[in-house]
Structure 1
Amino acid sequence: MTNSHKALTVHKADATWCFQFHSESAAMDPAEIRRREEFLKRQQDFKENAFKIIHTMLDWCNITPRSKHLVDEILHSIFFLGKINQVPFSPEEIIPDEQMLSGLREKYPRPFEFYLTQLPRRSPFSCVMDMIVMQKQPENENQIMQSLRDFITALKPDFLVSSTICVSQKSNNSVRHYGVSMSTSGRDARSIVIGASCLSAWDEYVAGAVMTYYVKNPNKKYFDFTIKIPDDVRCEAFSLKDGGKMKPCRSCGNMFGLNTDVAREWPYGNCAEVESLSNLLKNEIEVKEQSQPKSDTWTPQNIKRARENVLKKLKDILHNISFNTWDGHFYVPQAE
């Protein structure tokens, strides 16, 4: 890691970072100054996207019955990701409108209370997806995808936005189950939310398949929790940028036995297929029974050991980014 990169990642307080930037600028060459200025400018996109997403979700909540929990959840998720962003943003910086901020504190107090002590179970765009599915109804696949594509056109591309949606269903006439890719920015944030989802949100078989690869250890031989989704189950991913169909990556092939000729591996747990298949297995008992891990290493002892390893890695990442206030709980949004 270069000294300049360390300067970008070590200092977690925005004011501290800016102070160091200005104090060091006299000694920097013009190209380095421009690079850091561009970095700071780009980081503002997090704050801009966060405000737009929150504002839109509030509007949608007003016209979507029984959706308050999604606003509550997305507030916590965004506040947490803002805290651990390379240039961190507080809730007050994300929501500069004092009247709006005061109203949110009154109606949704728990995200403000727990974003420094509890981890989100999933990334923010999953809440956006759920809101639109509630509005359009699960059977209206094209409307759901178009609404998501329309929404992201107003957002910057690199922060809090998923790039892919996946649709899974037992058969052509059955209920559709949706998932989106991780809407996190940076390796640490992605790894934290993937680990949290494994431990608290995803179906146990899907989480096990991800955990098989989550802790990278060349000496890890004790378990293989990968699964094989039945061949007659539909699992299709689409780009949220242009709507084009996307083949499963090699990671999804390895974890779920999805047929693919793609060689590229995305980070395990990042893809939209993960959330979509998790929702499928939670709701389709027959498919879940057919997808049970086949390895002899799939035992209660090994499952416990795998979860302990994921938890250890999660704690190590949090420690490395100086987030030392986690109380061990995963955030549960406010009920209706």
Structure 2
Amino acid sequence: MLKMKDQSSEPEVTSKLVDEMIHSILFLGKIKNKPLCPKDIFDGVDDDNNHHLKEKYPNPFKFYSSQLPRRSPFSCMLDMIVHLKQQNDENGIKDELAEIISKLKDETRKHDKELSSTVLCVSHVNNTDSVKYYGVSMSTSGKKSGRIMIAASCLSFYWDEYVAGAVMTFYPDLMKKPYFDGTFNLSRDATCRAYNIKNKSEMKPCKSCSNLFGFQETDPKVWPYGNCAEVESLSKLFKNDDQVKQQSRPQSDTFTPDNIEKVKDETRKKLKEILNMTKFEKWSGEFYDPSVELTCREG
């Protein structure tokens, strides 16, 4: 990420991605069963970068013990690659991701699943000029960290409200809530396809994504709701195309403002319970924002 940052003509954009990724990594290290401190995590970074890391990016080190990340680290990596490539250079983005995954596996050996995603999703409107929007599967290790990150992505507004509502319909277990249904059928005017990052082969959506978004011809596997790459990809599409978003609006009578607030409160309550289980007991209620200056945070 540090090397890619310097390739951009917009350093303010890439610096924020590095900043956000560092915070997410530090947070995930802290909530491990055997917690890792920053020194443990960044001990392998080359001396020049390691020496200046905390000096250049002080906020992640200050707030990883009190604020939650909005997303997993590899999501930041994805945005960096999309930023450096052309938005619609799907093949170039796939090639770059595959190369990075290969390098991570070589470098981390036994821990090759730690922090890296396995699936990429591409969503777009069905016309030749449409912009493509990318998402990756949740890059966490362990059930608790996954549940924390899924709830954080829902509650921090990183995920679009409709997508977050669909996920919270089932969160944190695989059971649908009796009082709320935020699931929807993706508009026929849009396409959403997933690919294995390593070999770039297309993958069928899992049963969970079928339940969330109305996909057909799915794989019978059920993953934790919110874990899949489709969630992030569709969120970006909806945030940038209101017409497709409104065409996909949840249709259940239970999708009401009151029930939306109720499911958010229940998700936040469950999130706090899981955080307490990981000994992360100092959450300020805030989500980390790399665009906010340190003086503003303290004010």
The equivalent position to 2:125 in structure 1, one of 166, 170, 185, is 170
**Superposition map of 1:122-137 within 5 A:** 122-137=71-86
- The residue aligned with 1:86 is 33
Closer, same or farther: CA 242–108 of 1 in aligned 2, 3 Å: same
Instruction: Provide the rounded CA distance (Å) in 2 between the counterparts of 1:124 and 1:67.
Output: 14
The equivalent position to 2:142 in structure 1, one of 174, 186, 189, is 186
- The residue aligned with 1:138 is 87
Instruction: Provide the rounded CA distance (Å) in 2 between the counterparts of 1:140 and 1:99.
Output: 33
CA contact (8 A) 1:228 1:257 kept: yes
- The residue aligned with 1:25 is none
Deviation, 1:216, is 3.7
Secondary structure of the structure 1 residue equivalent to 2:290: coil
Instruction: Provide the rounded CA distance (Å) in 1 between the counterparts of 2:34 and 2:191.
Output: 40
Q: More displaced, 222-231 or 83-92? A: 83-92
Report the AA paired with residue 106 of structure 1. Answer: E
Q: More displaced, 265-274 or 64-73? A: 64-73
Q: More displaced, 220-229 or 266-275? A: 220-229
Closer, same or farther: CA 181–218 of 1 in aligned 2, 3 Å: closer
Which digits, 9 at most, give the CA deviation of each residue in 1:161-200, with x for residues without a partner?
0000000001242000000000000000000000000101
- The residue aligned with 2:108 is none
Deviation, 1:218, is 6.2
Q: Which runs of 5+ in 2 are unaligned?
A: 106-111, 294-299
Report the AA paired with residue 161 of structure 1. Answer: S
Report the AA paired with residue 30 of structure 2. Answer: K
Instruction: Provide the rounded CA distance (Å) in 2 between the counterparts of 1:76 and 1:332.
Output: 10
Which digits, 9 at most, give the CA deviation of each residue in 1:78-116, with x for residues without a partner?
000111123321111112256533411121110000000
The equivalent position to 1:286 in structure 2, one of 243, 254, 257, is 243
Report the AA paired with residue 308 of structure 1. Answer: D
Deviation, 1:219, is 9.1
Deviation, 1:232, is 3.2
- The residue aligned with 2:281 is 324
Which digits, 9 at most, give the CA deviation of each residue in 1:187-218, with x for residues without a partner?
00000000000101100000000000004496
Residue 61 in structure 1 maps to residue 5 in structure 2: yes
Instruction: Provide the rounded CA distance (Å) in 2 between the counterparts of 1:219 and 1:124.
Output: 28
Residue 148 in structure 1 maps to residue 92 in structure 2: no
Closer, same or farther: CA 218–260 of 1 in aligned 2, 3 Å: closer
Report the AA paired with residue 119 of structure 2. Answer: T
Deviation, 1:321, is 1.5
Instruction: Provide the rounded CA distance (Å) in 1 between the counterparts of 2:177 and 2:134.
Output: 32
Secondary structure of the structure 2 residue equivalent to 1:234: strand
- The residue aligned with 1:52 is none
Overall identity of the aligned pairs, in %? 52
Secondary structure of the structure 1 residue equivalent to 2:179: coil
**Superposition map of 1:205-244 within 5 A:** 205-216=162-173, 220-244=177-201
Instruction: Provide the rounded CA distance (Å) in 2 between the counterparts of 1:283 and 1:58.
Output: 28
With normalisation by structure 2, the TM-score equals: 0.90
Closer, same or farther: CA 94–215 of 1 in aligned 2, 3 Å: closer
Higher helix share: 1
Q: More displaced, 209-218 or 223-232? A: 209-218
When Rg is computed on C-alpha atoms for both structures, the one with the higher figure is: 1
Instruction: Provide the rounded CA distance (Å) in 1 between the counterparts of 2:291 and 2:126.
Output: 34
Closer, same or farther: CA 136–335 of 1 in aligned 2, 3 Å: farther
- The residue aligned with 2:264 is 307
